[in-house]
Amino acid sequence: MSVQTSRRRFIDVHILQTVPPSNINRDDAGAPKEATYGGVRRPRASSQAWKRATRLAFAALGIAEDDLGTRTKTIADHLTKAIAGRTALPAEAAARLAAAMIAPLGITSSKKNADESAYLLFYGNRQIQQLVDLIADQAADLAALDDKALAKAIDDKAVKEVLTTGHPLDVALFGRMVANVPDIDVHGAVQVAHAIATHGAELEFDYYTAVDDRQPADTKGAGMIGRIGFNSATLYRYGSVSLHQLDANMGNPKAAVDAVTAFVSAFARSMPTGYGNSFGHRTMPQLVAVAIRDDQPINLVTAFEAPVRPGRTTGYAEPSAQALAAEQHTIATTWGAPALWTGVTHAFTGPAAEPLAEAFGTVHAFPALLDAIATELTR
């Protein structure tokens, strides 16, 4: 079956997930991040926090390290070790070759540490090995050249081509921007919104104490006291993948479709780790809905501009699912913008079940939903 990813396709992912008392993404004061929406203060988790959690989840899904990227300021050290490991050159000589290969890119060094770049660079682990491939057979001869001759011998175009083609899954998805080297920018194929509660919630504080196990028996009081802010909420999470951009980034239509399902799986199963040991907050989503569109990405957060009220016996999740279904129906009917394809995973059996079926279609188990997405994208 052929894969035609040159067509405009946006894969919108809508998730409802209830998180217990937690502080998954804290602000500069250490409190859980919040935002005002619909005139109501609500718990929030930044898109950056969930993007990183998603990236880390790729490895848990079994994606090989060579097929993923690294975000670091120490690309020179990474390349140095790869050259030394492949060629058996001394560390100093390998570092000199690495510096010569990176120099033409114009990557600015940190003012505080000349061995680091001024900003985080995002590149593929396999791309580092491909850079080594360019010079491995002649490494000893190159190392014997003076600085001017070495700079002339390095194939600038080949180095740049390695870093601008064949991107790994996570670089292709999330993109790369280097302010002063736009030639190696990668346009991200994914949009991720800040996760936000479907309702208002109060910020609370846990006052905790720790006991010194070796304090004298007649000593009173705790060995340490502290305070952690927390809240709990049903979050609406949204992400969207541009398949045509992803195809352009990866240069492989089948790999692009595989990357979409990997993203949906990792995004749904991921969780920021802030204060994880203190709150044990990892849960699974209560709903994952996917809409494939050819017009534009559509965030359904407007379903919650009026904060959801909890049901007497259902909490916030089920009425949030009903509101989401209603908004999806509104987009399709009132605005005349139906999705090309929809699918959903959830376990609601109460009042939300019928509206969800009307809005998103037949319920799938999550693995079947991923298979259905891939089938639709290769149709």
CA-angle at 119, arms to 115 and 122, nearest 5°: 100
Q: Are residues 266 and 141 in the same domain?
A: no
The predicted structure's pLDDT at residue 2 = 46
CA distance 172 to 47: 17
Q: For residues 45-79, b (16+ Cβ closer than 10 Å) or e, as one string? A: bbbebbbbbbbbbbeeeebeeebbbbeebbbbebb
Q: Are residues 32 and 113 in the same domain?
A: no
pTM for this prediction: 0.90
Q: Is residue 290 part of a domain?
A: yes
Q: Is residue 223 part of a domain?
A: yes
Mean pLDDT, rounded, for 2-6: 51
CA distance 68 to 58: 8
Q: Are residues 155 and 238 in the same domain?
A: no
Please say which residue of 166, 198, 215 terminates a domain. Answer: 166
Please say which residue of 131, 166, 201 terminates a domain. Answer: 166
- The domain in which residue 27 lies consists of 10-64+189-377
In contact, 123 and 163? CB cutoff 8 Å = yes
Q: Are residues 345 and 270 in the same domain?
A: yes
Alpha helices in 223-352 (DSSP H): 243-250, 253-269, 276-279, 317-333
Encode pLDDT of 258-279 as tens digits: 999 999 999 999 999 998 999 9
Q: Are residues 111 and 213 in the same domain?
A: no
Q: For 4-13, 61-70, 92-101, 364-373, which range has the lowest pLDDT when averaged over its residues?
A: 4-13
CA distance 81 to 241: 35
The predicted structure's pLDDT at residue 211 = 82
Residue tagged 């969930």 (tokens): 50
> How do strand 287-293 and strand 224-242 relate by DSSP bridges?
unpaired
The predicted structure's pLDDT at residue 224 = 81
CA distance 351 to 266: 29
Encode pLDDT of 171-185 as tens digits: 999 999 887 778 888
Encode pLDDT of 159-209 as tens digits: 999 988 889 999 999 999 887 778 888 999 999 999 999 999 999 998 887
Encode pLDDT of 312-344 as tens digits: 888 999 999 999 999 999 999 999 999 999 999
Q: Which of the four pLDDT bands, split at 50, 70 and 90, describes residue 6?
A: low
180 or 100, higher pLDDT: 100
Q: Are residues 87 and 117 in the same domain?
A: yes
Q: Helix crossing, 91-102 with 75-87: angle to 10°? A: 130
Q: Are residues 285 and 322 in the same domain?
A: yes
Q: Are residues 136 and 251 in the same domain?
A: no
Q: Are residues 109 and 57 in the same domain?
A: no
Q: Is residue 4 part of a domain?
A: no
CA distance 137 to 157: 18
Structure tokens at 179: 């302010």
Q: Are residues 18 and 114 in the same domain?
A: no
Q: Is residue 157 part of a domain?
A: yes
Encode pLDDT of 224-261 as tens digits: 888 899 999 999 999 999 999 999 999 899 999 999 99
The predicted structure's pLDDT at residue 314 = 86
105 or 366, higher pLDDT: 366
Q: Are residues 86 and 234 in the same domain?
A: no
Q: Is residue 172 part of a domain?
A: no
Q: Is residue 22 part of a domain?
A: yes
Q: How many domains does the chain have?
A: 2
Please say which residue of 133, 166, 199 terminates a domain. Answer: 166
Q: Is residue 121 part of a domain?
A: yes
CA distance 290 to 356: 12
Residue whose C-alpha is closest to residue 286's, from 349, 335, 205, 346: 346
Q: Are residues 135 and 24 in the same domain?
A: no
Q: Is residue 173 part of a domain?
A: no
Residue whose C-alpha is closest to residue 54's, from 270, 234, 256, 307: 270
Angstrom CA distances, 167 to 30, 125, 249, stand at 36, 10, 6
- Considering 105-109, 221-225, 265-269, the range whose residues carry the highest mean pLDDT is 265-269
